[in-house]
Chains A and B, each alone.
Chain A
Amino acid sequence: MNGFDHKEGYQASEVRRMKAQYESGGLSRRQFLQGLMATGLALGTATAIVTGSRDVRAETPKRGGRVRFASSGHGPTDTLDPQLFTDGIAYTRGRTHLNNLVQFNDDLSVRPELAESWEVNSNATEFVFHLRKGVTWHDGKDFTADDVVYTMNRHMGDESISKAKTLVAMVSEWKKIDQHTVKASLSSPNSDLLPTLATFHFKIVQDGCDDIPGYFNKVIGTGPYTCEEFSPGVRSIGKRNPNYWREGPWLDELELFAITDPVARVNAVASGEVELASTIDTKAFKQIDDAEGVSIFSTKSGQYVDIVMMLDRHPGNNPDLVQAVKLLQNRKRLVRSVFKGHGAYGNDHPIGEAYADHCESLEQTELDIDRAKFHVNKSGISEVELMASEGIPNGMEFALLFQSEARKAGLSVDVKKVPHDGYWGNIWMNTPMHLSNWNMRPTAYVMMELAYAPHAPWNESQWKNERMGVLLEQVRAETDPGRREDMFCEMQGLIRAEAGTALPVHLNYIDAISDSVKGMPRVPLAMLGGCEWPEFIWLEA
């Protein structure tokens, strides 16, 4: 093949890729046009392609139809209780039957949902929410301030089993002002409370639900679909709520279940058995591309995989070794080969490009065998053990790539593959060096507070940095955008330089959807556009 052919092939495939993205709503008209011209097309040609493509953002939704969604996992732990939600299928069920106070836009700003409007005082310690009137629960009861107060109190106190209670630990009281007004008083400022309340675990449940027998077996919500059936590890069914308080939903019925086997899941979506399938293995891209009427749905996100070196024990207590491991990450090859381009370079801190507060000015760490060799020699360590598991996305490939680069610098890495069940309880934060992965959080502050604050229980590398603690405290109360930006940059730089985490890549969420599915949202926080789709999608015949 000559060079010319090769270039033509590249251009054609780029045009096809961008056209598909535009037609599924992933690119605006302007971005699409600019992208086309960046591949070397003339303005006239590019405009013709844009005009020839369907602009989905201008399409009107159609009512009717039934959609089946195959998630990647389910089991006896399936629950409809928002405070215990763990995985994509639970988040999706939350969006199917319930509502939040506020809701994410694709860029992670928030818009009103059950709260019609709100007021925040100047130092972000008092939030007053005005609730929407005329909203009813699936059983006909009116939605009121009591429901909100009850829901929020489930996340508070020592008795709470909520998975999200640390996120709202600074809220000292939720108070009902009148039937449709609620006030949250905070013991310390938190300018990120609104995005926090838009996340999965803060879906609003009915007042007193813990004492209603069987409430969570067939959850009663205010959401777009009523819960017709829920059997853990088998499936759940949602039927359109005819009394929904806003426009939509469009489908008559939704069936949510999981096909745990990755190959079977790809087969099911490729043969039209299901309309949406989550978490597509990179090895299956070709099969999806070849299948008629199905496309990859890839959403840029801040989720990441990393190597944790616990700084309080050997070998992580040796700063040279930590440096060497960061320098030994082959980020280019990880993104290109292991994740097939569906990812972005990580810079050893958790705040990737998908975050609004990503710091652009930090220098990107690159693979540098010579410098790594210097640090390995200086550390005097020639052998380390790394725990890895299949449960971490592409974890084995990630670990083995690191192993092969490390060998070049004279560091021998013994990769130990361990089963994923019990991984978070026994391996994570218990063994000196292991793989970890984190979902994206709604804001840079929440992410760093959870995983890198000196007092954070999930500070996985035991990196206790006082300056980091001070900055986190300050940024929470800071409202000046310029000063906030400086602080966020300083924190990202601190983590990059000193924390015991080598973080080489941010992963996209990669799912597959039928071409008949329209109106997919693109919230980057979880699979399939943040699991926000049940309310918004419709079927195009």
Chain B
Amino acid sequence: MMFRMIMRRLGIGVVTLWVVSLLMFAGTEILPGDVAEIMLGQEATPESLAALRGKLGLDKPAALRYLEWLGDMATFDLGLSLAGHSGTGGGGATIEVLIGARLQNTLLLSSIVAAISVPLSVTLGLLAAMFPTSLYDRTVTFTTLCLVAVPEFFIATMLVLILAVQLQWLPSIATMTDFESVWDMLRSLSLPILTLCFVLLAQMSRMTRAAVLNVMSSPYIEMAILKGVPRRRIILRHALFNAIGPIVNIIALNLAYLVSGVVIVEVIFAFPGLAKLMVDGVQVRDMPLVQACGMIFCATYVVLILISDIASIVSNPRLRHPK
């Protein structure tokens, strides 16, 4: 039963990926200019443009280029980056080369941030739900609301100004190079980690609090209260398990954001990650590169949402046995 559900969802996931690739291809085609124009820039002449286009295969019709890409993709060949391709001595920078190290960087940063922010925010949220309207709850609510309201580039810039430029405690950029130890790596990543934790903490703890309080107002909890069960026990034994569905969902969405949406943080800390690569790819109209990044992001969403759905089903017997 569970197995069939997972297979069906994965099937839908593949279809989603295909639709997304079609949309992204259309998107890059609609944008004015192509990679040849952008690489030659102000120095472009009609002849050199034609020569470069021929070299990159851009003279073929759009539909054919898409089908070729799709064929390569089916055999797990991500292809050559157009931008890195020309004049590279017959070698050509493959997409794997461009993406490889950045994917590792992005995954490393996301997992550290997740490892810190998920337990912390769930705990903060649960505590706030346990003692609603207490001074603690108000403090958490006020602080997290403030953090949610401030854009991340502002948080990041302020952290750099105070901790890196004024106090000189931490490095202002995180270029992911030459680590002598784990400590060294954490130190160089500390400012991006801090910034992202602030951003995620707020949303996840707010959602945890809301989900738990929502369950707290259901009839069986009222029954438990009337029976005289202590509040802490109600929340940890009864309410939390029923609130896991929404909490896991919001965590999944936040983790997917960490993989694909942290462009601003990557730019401010000169962090070589995937999100900035995709933006660069769009700027130079490098279709295979954009597609490859897009596929990774889309797959991340599909897998994370699938995991969160499985988690809600496992935690909720009613979903396990649909009528």
Q: Separation in Å of the A495 CB from the closest CB of chain B?
A: 18
**Is B44 a contact partner of A217 (Cβ separation < 8 A)?**
no
B47 at the interface (CB under 8 A from A): yes
**Is A75 a contact partner of B284 (Cβ separation < 8 A)?**
yes
Q: Indicate with 1 or 0, residue by residue over B266-292, a CB within 8 angstroms of chain A CB atoms.
A: 011110100011001101101001000
Which A residues from 51 to 89 make CB contacts under 8 A with B? 70, 75-79, 81, 83-84, 86
> Which residues from chain A contact B87 at a C-beta distance below 8 Å?
79, 81, 83-84, 161, 210, 216
B177 at the interface (CB under 8 A from A): yes
B40, B83, B173: which contacts A268 (Cβ < 8 A)?
B173
A357 at the interface (CB under 8 A from B): no
Q: Tell me, in angstroms, the Cα distance from A79 to B83 when the chains sit together.
A: 9
Q: Separation in Å of the A200 CB from the closest CB of chain B?
A: 12
> Which residues from chain B contact A2 at a C-beta distance below 8 Å?
none
A457 at the interface (CB under 8 A from B): yes
**Is B89 a contact partner of A166 (Cβ separation < 8 A)?**
no
**Is B86 a contact partner of A232 (Cβ separation < 8 A)?**
no
B101, B165, B284: which contacts A231 (Cβ < 8 A)?
B101
Q: Separation in Å of the A535 CB from the closest CB of chain B?
A: 23
**Is B51 a contact partner of A160 (Cβ separation < 8 A)?**
yes
* Tally of B interface residues using CB under 8 Å: 56
- The A contact surface, by secondary structure, is loop
**Is A84 a contact partner of B39 (Cβ separation < 8 A)?**
yes
**Is B173 a contact partner of A273 (Cβ separation < 8 A)?**
yes
Q: Tell me, in angstroms, the Cα distance from A274 to B173 when the chains sit together.
A: 10
Q: Tell me, in angstroms, the Cα distance from A428 to B41 when the chains sit together.
A: 10
B139 at the interface (CB under 8 A from A): no
Which B residues from 75 to 128 make CB contacts under 8 A with A? 81, 83-84, 86-91, 93, 97-98, 101-102
Q: Tell me, in angstroms, the Cα distance from A45 to B81 when the chains sit together.
A: 62
A233 at the interface (CB under 8 A from B): yes
> Which residues from chain A contact B281 at a C-beta distance below 8 Å?
76
**Is A217 a contact partner of B277 (Cβ separation < 8 A)?**
no
A255 at the interface (CB under 8 A from B): yes
Q: Indicate with 1 or 0, residue by residue over B165-185, a CB within 8 angstroms of chain A CB atoms.
A: 100100111010100000000
B164 at the interface (CB under 8 A from A): yes
**Is A273 a contact partner of B172 (Cβ separation < 8 A)?**
yes
**Is A270 a contact partner of B268 (Cβ separation < 8 A)?**
no
Which A residues from 434 to 456 make CB contacts under 8 A with B? 438
> Which residues from chain A contact B40 at a C-beta distance below 8 Å?
161, 163
Find the residue from B40, B42, B157, B171 having the highest chain A CB count within 10 A.
B42
> Which residues from chain A contact B102 at a C-beta distance below 8 Å?
234
Q: Tell me, in angstroms, the Cα distance from A232 to B102 when the chains sit together.
A: 11
Q: Which residue of B lies closest to A164 (CB)?
A: B43
> Which residues from chain A contact B157 at a C-beta distance below 8 Å?
263
B161 at the interface (CB under 8 A from A): yes
A1 at the interface (CB under 8 A from B): no
> Which residues from chain A contact B168 at a C-beta distance below 8 Å?
271-272
Q: Tell me, in angstroms, the Cα distance from A531 to B171 when the chains sit together.
A: 26
> Which residues from chain B contact A165 at a C-beta distance below 8 Å?
48
A162 at the interface (CB under 8 A from B): yes
How many Cβ-Cβ contacts under 8 Å join chain A to chain B?
Answer: 171
Q: Tell me, in angstroms, the Cα distance from A232 to B172 when the chains sit together.
A: 22
**Is B172 a contact partner of A79 (Cβ separation < 8 A)?**
no
> Which residues from chain A contact B276 at a C-beta distance below 8 Å?
233
> Which residues from chain A contact B83 at a C-beta distance below 8 Å?
75-77, 232
> Which residues from chain A contact B88 at a C-beta distance below 8 Å?
79, 81, 214-217
B52 at the interface (CB under 8 A from A): yes
Q: Which residue of A lies closest to B34 (CB)?
A: A425
B33 at the interface (CB under 8 A from A): yes
Which B residues from 218 to 275 make CB contacts under 8 A with A? 267-270, 272
Q: Which residue of A lies closest to B164 (CB)?
A: A271
**Is A260 a contact partner of B89 (Cβ separation < 8 A)?**
no
A212, A261, A270, A424: which contacts B90 (Cβ < 8 A)?
A212
Which A residues from 101 to 156 make CB contacts under 8 A with B? none
Given A235-B177, A260-B267, also A424-B81 (CB < 8 A): no
A257 at the interface (CB under 8 A from B): yes
A186 at the interface (CB under 8 A from B): no
Q: Tell me, in angstroms, the Cα distance from A215 to B91 when the chains sit together.
A: 7
Q: Separation in Å of the B78 CB from the closest CB of chain A?
A: 13
**Is B89 a contact partner of A264 (Cβ separation < 8 A)?**
no
**Is A424 a contact partner of B101 (Cβ separation < 8 A)?**
no
> Which residues from chain A contact B165 at a C-beta distance below 8 Å?
267, 270-271, 291
**Is A216 a contact partner of B91 (Cβ separation < 8 A)?**
yes
Q: Which residue of A lies closest to B105 (CB)?
A: A234
Which A residues from 262 to 281 make CB contacts under 8 A with B? 263-264, 267-268, 270-274
**Is A70 a contact partner of B272 (Cβ separation < 8 A)?**
no
> Which residues from chain A contact B214 at a C-beta distance below 8 Å?
none
Q: Separation in Å of the A459 CB from the closest CB of chain B?
A: 12
A481 at the interface (CB under 8 A from B): no
> Which residues from chain B contact A261 at a C-beta distance below 8 Å?
267-268, 270
Q: Indicate with 1 or 0, residue by residue over B21-55, a CB within 8 angstroms of chain A CB atoms.
A: 00000000001110001111111111110011001
**Is B55 a contact partner of A161 (Cβ separation < 8 A)?**
yes
B211 at the interface (CB under 8 A from A): no
> Which residues from chain B contact A233 at a C-beta distance below 8 Å?
98, 272, 276-277, 280
Q: Which residue of A lies closest to B31 (CB)?
A: A422
A159 at the interface (CB under 8 A from B): yes
> Which residues from chain A contact B270 at a C-beta distance below 8 Å?
70, 257-261, 264, 268
> Which residues from chain A contact B43 at a C-beta distance below 8 Å?
163-164, 458
Q: Tell me, in angstroms, the Cα distance from A158 to B48 when the chains sit together.
A: 8
**Is A160 a contact partner of B177 (Cβ separation < 8 A)?**
no
Q: Indicate with 1 or 0, residue by residue over A404-426, a CB within 8 angstroms of chain B CB atoms.
A: 00000000000000000110111
- 18 of the cross-chain contacts (CB-CB < 8 Å) are A75-B280, A160-B51, A163-B40, A165-B48, A211-B90, A214-B88, A216-B88, A233-B98, A257-B175, A258-B270, A268-B270, A271-B165, A273-B164, A422-B33, A424-B37, A424-B42, A425-B33, A426-B33
Q: Identify the A interface with B (CB < 8 A).
A: 70, 75-79, 81, 83-84, 86, 158-166, 209-217, 231-235, 255, 257-261, 263-264, 267-268, 270-274, 291, 421-422, 424-426, 428, 438, 457-458
A-B pairs, top 10 by smallest CB distance, nearest first, are A215-B89, A214-B91, A425-B37, A81-B87, A422-B33, A75-B280, A425-B33, A259-B270, A76-B83, A163-B43
